Structure 1
Amino acid sequence: MNDELLERFSRALVMLENLGPRLDDLLFPRQALVDGERVSGSQPKSKPPLVVPIMDLKVDAERCLQFWVNQLAALPIPPGISDAPLGKHRPGTGIGARAGWLRERLVLLACAPWAEQAALEVIDVAWLVAETVEPAGRGEPVVPPTWGTARVIASWLKLLGAPLSRTQLQRLVEAGELEVSAQPDGSLHIAFDDALALARKRSDQANRNLGHVVI
């Protein structure tokens, strides 16, 4: 892993460590005291201008982080690297706890054979969480990226009601049905418009198949 990607990885973990609890606040609004009585918060939703199903994003982020926690915990500690704080105890629950556990073991993470893949996935997740929790005060709507990794594109397709999973997108790329662009950091980016058109085509086809009545 090059220094630039390692720095982005570190920042993404710090971002998730800080914003994870705020994502929980959106999902479970705190109760406020008004004239001595508790009043429940607003319904769970992301801040404008990006509208995201909070539970889906939370689950996806936790699964991503937990996967790399498990992968890292299964690795032997390389020679020359101290066992502290790289012990095998597992993190607490929640996005922030998992991200913090990984950040504290960034030296060990960087030595893993799958380090670049972990970095790219965590960076994508951090971007989605940040866009949901604090959209940087933008007044204009957040639009889908022209190009993005399979995880980012899959998230946008789901939001737009034309879901294709990350695995499905990767299979379509391997089959030559989707165009990709190689990035300097080694990641492959998918054209969003092509993915959306293909997702809608598959959805329309599935609906037509359901509409056929077998006599």
Structure 2
Amino acid sequence: MDDYLLHELGRSLYSLERNGAGLEELLTFHRGSSTDIPGRAVCCSKPPVNLTVLDLLVQTEGLLSFWASEVLACGDGVVGPVPDGIAATAAWLQRYLDVADGMPWGEMMAEEVIAQARMVASVVEPDSESEEPAPPEWATCQVAASWAKQAGVQVSRTTVYRWAQAGKAATTKGDDGGMLVRLDDVLARAGAMRGAVSFGVGQVLV
């Protein structure tokens, strides 16, 4: 992993540590109190779950837990157990960036965590002045699936892999020899799944 990617991985883990609690707070819709609308009674029932945020939270927790288990299994001197929760797991992973840096899967981990951190930040900090990240031309199956989900289509990493194997998405090899897929092809197929014409790279994803 080059120094820039390692730096971005560290920044992204810090971003997830900072935004983890905020994502959990967004898990439920906020209902107005009786003071918001005169004459309206306070609703005492449990507020409904925001399923979009729940999906993102579960996906983020799963991604961090997976890479934390890889670090724990492969790194000498790594102290477990891995803590629960996005913020705690992200903080734990920051302590072992050197382990990820020395592993053949380190670059894939960095790409997936960076993409996930950007999506979480776009939800937790929608008014942030930072520029929206431009979709990459090539990405791992997991990162491509994350971009498709951001576009509004539930696509799994396995589905993207099948598209690549069937020749429905162009592929190339990354610096580590791993397979990368053309993101434009994946988003176009994802768009077809929901009746859209195309989600070209560089276009605004809605």
TM norm structure 2: 0.71
Instruction: Report the residue type matching 1:56 in the other structure.
Output: D
Which one scores higher on RCO, CA 8 angstroms, separation ≥ 6? 1
Match of 2:56 in 1: 57
Match of 1:16 in 2: 16
Match of 2:168 in 1: 177
Identity within the alignment, %: 33
* Runs (5+) with no aligned partner, structure 1: 46-51, 78-82, 205-215
In the aligned structure 2, how far is the partner of 1:17 from the partner of 1:39? 33
Choose 112-121 or 159-168, whichever is displaced more.
159-168
Q: CA, structure 1 residues 67+32, in 2 after alignment: closer, same or farther (shift >3 Å)?
A: same
Q: CA RMSD in A?
A: 3.8
Instruction: Report the residue type matching 1:24 in the other structure.
Output: E
Instruction: Report the residue type matching 2:22 in the other structure.
Output: R
Displacement, 1:127?
0.9
In the aligned structure 1, how far is the partner of 2:156 from the partner of 2:117? 18
Displacement, 1:59?
0.5
Number of corresponding residues: 185
In the aligned structure 2, how far is the partner of 1:137 from the partner of 1:185? 34
Confirm whether residue 92 of structure 1 aligns to residue 83 of structure 2: yes
Choose 9-18 or 143-152, whichever is displaced more.
143-152
In the aligned structure 2, how far is the partner of 1:100 from the partner of 1:135? 23
Rg (Cα) greater in structure? 1
> 1:190 is matched with which residue: 174, 178, 182?
182
Instruction: Report the residue type matching 1:166 in the other structure.
Output: R
* Runs (5+) with no aligned partner, structure 2: 36-41, 196-206
Displacement, 1:157?
3.3
> 1:113 is matched with which residue: 104, 107, 112?
104
2:64–2:113 Cα contact (<8 Å) kept: yes
Displacement, 1:170?
2.1
Displacement, 1:174?
3.0
Describe how 1:12-161 pairs up with structure 2 within 5 A: 12-28=12-28, 53-77=52-76, 83=77, 86-87=78-79, 89-137=80-128, 145=135, 147=137, 149=139, 150-158=141-149, 160=151
Q: CA, structure 1 residues 19+143, in 2 after alignment: closer, same or farther (shift >3 Å)?
A: closer
TM norm structure 1: 0.68
In the aligned structure 1, how far is the partner of 2:9 from the partner of 2:193? 35
Instruction: Report the residue type matching 1:72 in the other structure.
Output: V
